[in-house]
Amino acid sequence: MERLKKLLIIGFVWPEPNSSAAGGRMMQLISIFQENNFKITFASPALDSEFMVDLSAFGVEKKAIELNNSSFDDFVKELGPEVVLFDRFMIEEQFGWRVTENCPKAIRILDTEDLHCLRTARQKAFKENRNFELLDLLSEEVAKREIASILRCDVSLIISEFEMNILKDVFKINEELLFYLPFLVDEMKEEELLKLPAFEERKNFVFIGNFLHEPNWNTVQHLKEAIWPSIKKDFPEAVLEVYGAYPSQKVLQLHQPKNGFFIKGRAEDANEVVKNARVVLAPICFGAGLKGKLLEAMQCGTPSVTTTIGSEAMHNNLSWNGFIEDNPEEFSKKAIALYQDEKLWKQAQKNGIAIINECYQKSNYSVQLILLVNSLLIDSESHRLHNFMGNLLQHHAFKSTMYMSKWIEAKNKN
């Protein structure tokens, strides 16, 4: 029997698969590694949350760690992981140098989640009421940190092909340092639609998204101000239900039952909510990565109306499971048409299945990921030798995060 290999995942937060797409993706990664003979320890400096997953139920060891504390050095040295996966670049900044010092042979993987610099630059352009340009990324402060983190790691998991192209074309990152890994789901057959609620059994428009994520809050604002008045004007009986974890007071204040606009807060079962809605509305104005809510809509047989940003890199130019529309007036018309026209609605459902089966098949990507990790375990020296910029950033002269952390730790002791 093959020996279990040790994987240490260092999480930005504890996984909450029912609260965010990021939590769902993390559980997908855990599943892939467990299926391929890895024993997993999940460590995080985050506080426990009410809705975090019970990692022990999935056979994963849970470990609380501290920022700017050398106790992590003892922990990681004793654990001796062969592979370390950092959840977002901020975690690699904090713990990457400690892993390198204490477990120099461990393979370092960065799960970017999405490109934070892309999301930030788009958000700035949106707030300044101007068009986003790819060159904006080169002056984005967070890009310098994020790209440095990618270069320091042996490989980074990139969720979007659009972002793969940005990293290669704009930032000139060597393709050998990148691995395209979208959301991963099982194949879906058209017959499965028959098990889902039918057109006439469903009601209402729905939006769902974690409100700790700025693009989601902005989307709900945009729905309320620019799109819902137009929908209500042409379809007075329309109802929109807005679900999402961690709604702030400013979100709750948008609740307006008389206008058919309901803020529902956290969904106990997001899948059930989407499955029983007739149409998902997601007029996303800025963001990055892939939109888990839109893939979930396809899996639930629920057509959606979204924007170019919302659908970015999600459908390989296949017909969308509904409509892609940036103009608020047209968005509203398409939403009503999709809600009222059963034939149009059923075709949109089928489009969603085609997208799932072409773009998100777990079997298409998980095998390649494990092959890559195993090849790095066999010959990391050659891989690292050719990553000169990464080696440069590992040099002590460039380790500002390390010295800052040591200074904070010393200060805390005093």
pLDDT digits (tens, 9 = 90+) for 305-336: 999 999 999 999 999 999 999 999 999 999 99
Instruction: Indicate if the pLDDT at residue 197 is higher than 60.
Output: yes
Instruction: Indicate if the pLDDT at residue 397 is higher than 70.
Output: no
- pLDDT, residue 409, reads 85
- pLDDT, residue 398, reads 59
Distance CA 406, CA 149 (A): 19
- The amino acid sitting at 360 is Y
SS3 of residue 323 by DSSP: strand
Instruction: Indicate if the pLDDT at residue 396 is higher than 70.
Output: no
- Give the domains, in start order, of the chain with CATH numbers: 5-184+362-413 (3.40.50.2000), 190-359 (3.40.50.2000)
Structure tokens at 17: 């698969």
CB-based burial label for 198 (10 Å; 0-12, 13-18, 19+): exposed
Percent of the chain with pLDDT over 70: 99
Longest dimension (CA), the chain: 70
- pLDDT, residue 395, reads 73
Distance CA 56, CA 258 (A): 45
- pLDDT, residue 408, reads 86
Span 331-349, pLDDT tens digits? 999 999 999 999 999 999 9
Instruction: Indicate if the pLDDT at residue 93 is higher than 90.
Output: yes
Instruction: Indicate if the pLDDT at residue 213 is higher than 80.
Output: yes
Q: Is the pTM of this model over 0.85?
A: yes
- pLDDT, residue 404, reads 81
Span 253-289, pLDDT tens digits? 999 999 999 999 999 999 999 999 999 999 999 999 9
- pLDDT, residue 360, reads 96
- pLDDT, residue 308, reads 97
Band the pLDDT of 394: cuts 50, 70, 90: confident
Contacts of 263 (CB under 8 A, 6+ apart): 242, 247, 251, 252, 254, 255
Mean pLDDT in residue range 63-81: 97
Band the pLDDT of 45: cuts 50, 70, 90: very high
- pLDDT, residue 62, reads 98
Mean pLDDT in residue range 184-200: 95
φ, ψ for residue 213, nearest 5 deg: -95, 115
Cα torsion 140, 311, 265, 28 to 10°: value is: -90
- pLDDT, residue 406, reads 82
- pLDDT, residue 66, reads 96
Q: Are 107 and 153 in contact (CB under 8 A)?
A: no
Mean pLDDT in residue range 351-378: 96
Instruction: Indicate if the pLDDT at residue 380 is higher than 70.
Output: yes
